[in-house]
Amino acid sequence: MRQGRTTSRKSSGKSFSRDRIAFDNPAALLYRQSFRVIIGCTLQHEDDTASSRRERVPERPAIERRILTALEATPPQIPVIVGGCGSGRTSMLHRLREQLGPETEYIDVERIATTPEGFLSSVTHATRCQAPEMPPGTDDTPAAQAAFDRVRHFLGHARTETGRTVTFLLDEALEIRTFESFPGLRGVLRTFCQTLCESPNRFVLTTRFVSRTLRLFRDAPERFEFVHLPPLTPREVTTTLARIGLGETDDERLELARIIHALTDGRPLYLRLLAEATAAMGAGDPVSALAAQMAPGAPLSMACRFCYELRLHRARGYGALKAILQVLAREEPLTLTETARRIGRTPGSTKDYLSWLEDVDLLNVQQKRYSFADPVLRLWVHLHGQATPPGDEDLAREAQEYAVHRFPYMEPAMTIAEPPAEVTDGTGRDRSWGMIEID
């Protein structure tokens, strides 16, 4: 390649020359640079006020109280908030930061988990706390391992300007496993957890991967407590609708809440997007709004696409997994043998594929029969897993059929009219925060 000549590769979105690499798309460069910023540690999002965040996801005081109680224990417990895409994990951390005050640091691990060196630079430059100098390591320590050791030292010994301990809110903390491919860091998650347990600082972690987290933390110290974010209750849905201004009367709002809750499975992000779309249409017809939101480029459709692609890319066997999801989008539940027959693979290979889909929470299995964990995502895959995008007739027909199947899951009106003090599973056990203690 001659000096000054530049060739373009569309697959990567970058231009390559002899002495420089640049993004072809300035918007892509801006998006990539945004990943170097730790949201919440600076004042650049002052317009993202507490009130606007509360409008997006309803407050969940019972869960927040449980987390605060865990942090106040002696020694402090380490809550791990687990929930699917759009379940409100990040909003929960922002509300906790407001309650815990200025001695709190929010770090979005997913955004900055590139290399250990890059991660160290982002964490130390964006936070307001400081840590004493780390004793020098040996000369034969790999650079990546040395950088991660400094990250652990910083998190374990950081103090505020007044010398007080720090509470770190680590969003998508399991992304720390990105560093496992670097020399000397194969056991990065184990050493990271050990650092958190030995530090006087307090920590709250979140992750979107429920099954994987429970497996990885099976032998973790008992200081880790898992807090599951359950779907919103119908009563919480009515609160969201009231904030959006959907429903002219209380009775109309209650009925809309039952319908939208059934259509979205109580998932906060889906619920908000569908409620806003229903309000924008002005007809009070959530089913028609759902059909419109499943169109290519619509907000709910894009949210499903993000969740779908992200989880598939965190699993193995991308193409085969997509094939299984398309089969289950047409018909579920299916057994292992039925699934293998439909995709034309051996039962042994299919069993591996299904286990990988379970690991990223795309599938549930009950009585050896597999089905989608997310009903809205199943509808999206059914519509968009075709050679051509769905048309208006396809969207309307599939949304109507989906609604017919989902309406039996509607909560009775009395469930909304009588707010329970605690959400239970019928055995007297509190399920409002979904705590699982690992022994």
| pLDDT tens, position by position, 167-192 | 999 999 999 999 999 988 999 999 99
CATH placement of domain 50-228: 3.40.50.300
User: Residues of CATH 1.10.10.10 domain(s) within the chain?
Assistant: 302-384
* pLDDT tens by residue, 218-273: 888 889 999 999 999 888 888 888 888 887 888 888 889 999 999 999 999 999 99
Query: What is the model's pTM?
Result: 0.78
For 363-388, how does the pLDDT look when each residue is reduced to its tens digit (9 = 90+)?
999 999 999 999 999 999 999 998 88
- Cβ proximity of 352 and 358 under 8 Å: no
- Predicted local confidence at residue 137, as pLDDT: 62
pLDDT of residue 24: 54
Calpha distance 100→94 (Å, rounded): 10
Q: b/e map of 134-143 (b: 16 or more CB within 10 Å)? A: eeeeeeeeee
Q: Where in the chain is CATH 3.40.50.300?
A: 50-228
- How does pLDDT run across 45-74, given as a tens digit for each residue? 333 444 444 445 567 888 999 999 999 998
CATH of domain 302-384: 1.10.10.10
pLDDT at 8 over 70: no
Among residues 170, 177, 265, 174, which one has the least CA distance to residue 211?
174
pLDDT tens sequence across 105-129: 999 999 999 999 999 999 998 888 8
Distances (CA, A) of 94 to 48, 84, 98, 141, 213: 10, 17, 6, 37, 22
